[in-house]
Amino acid sequence: MTRVLLVDDQALVRSGFSLILSVEDDFEVVGQAGDGAAAIELTRELRPDIVLMDVQMPVMDGIEATRRIVAENLAKVLVLTTFDHDEYVFDGLAAGASGFLLKNSDAEHLVEAVRTVAAGHALLAPQVTRRVIEQMVAGERAPSGPAGAAGPAGVPGAARPTPDQAPPGLAQLTPREREVLELVGTGLSNAEIASTLFLGEATIKTHVSNVLSKLHLRDRVQAVVLAHRVGLV
């Protein structure tokens, strides 16, 4: 059972999300909050698995709430917004969100998005994935935090590293793991990578897990960004 906390300043929106998720056997909506500050407190109290987080809210916006929830390792956050703007995606990912989905997505996609993030995968709306990754890699936008703050791989604002600046774990990858990282960097799913390499999907899942562990990456989004930054893609 995946425990979900709904955060949106509009009660009608929360009710709609709750109705969609509650009919699924594997979801339990454990609470609702109308602003970011309340979301943090409820996340600490209820310990949900997933927080569905709106961006624009009073008291504290969803980006800052996401940053604090992730920093305390309280839950995974799936950011939901009506705005298809790069700035929200940049800020959400820099804050540690595991996914970004537009609110106008249908019920089926919402359910699948929550399941995807709950399973430990990262999710970006297809409309924004490529341009976000490209601009994050190019360092065309400074991070939202303190100027010059250097975060882990995947945090925007970092320049492409030279070979001696590449993460130490990169040299620890086996040739197959490096190949898998390259394919992850192109945006392929585990099933697509398995088909490309003529391997089982379970085997690819193991390779991806090993890559994330060796490189100390949070999720596939960070893996994609790193693959681009070190020149694998």
- DSSP 3-state assignment of 96? coil
DSSP 168-203: GGGGGS-HHHHHHHHHHHTT--HHHHHHHHT--HHH
Q: 129 or 4, which is more confident?
A: 4
Domain boundary assignment for the chain: 2-127, 159-229
98-76-66-183 Cα dihedral, nearest 10 degrees: -10
CATH number, domain 159-229: 1.10.10.10
Residue 37 CB neighbours (<10 A) = 17
Which distant-in-sequence residues (6+ apart) come within 8 Å of 118 by Cβ? Answer: 2, 49, 50, 76
Give CA 163 to chain center in angstroms.
Answer: 26
Longest dimension (CA), the chain: 52
Contact 111, 155 (CB under 8 A): no
Of all residues in the chain, the percent with pLDDT exceeding 70 is 78
65-74-169-161 Cα dihedral, nearest 10 degrees: 0
The pair of structure tokens assigned to 93 is 């990912």
- Summarised one tens digit per residue, pLDDT across range 18-49 is 999 999 999 999 999 999 999 999 999 999 99
Residue 108 CB neighbours (<10 A) = 9
Position 167 scores a pLDDT of 76
Residue 19 CB neighbours (<10 A) = 11
Position 101 scores a pLDDT of 82
Question: pLDDT band at residue 157, thresholds of 50, 70 and 90?
Answer: very low
Least confident of 10-19, 21-30, 87-96: 87-96
The pTM assigned to this predicted structure is 0.67
CATH number, domain 2-127: 3.40.50.2300
Position 151 scores a pLDDT of 41
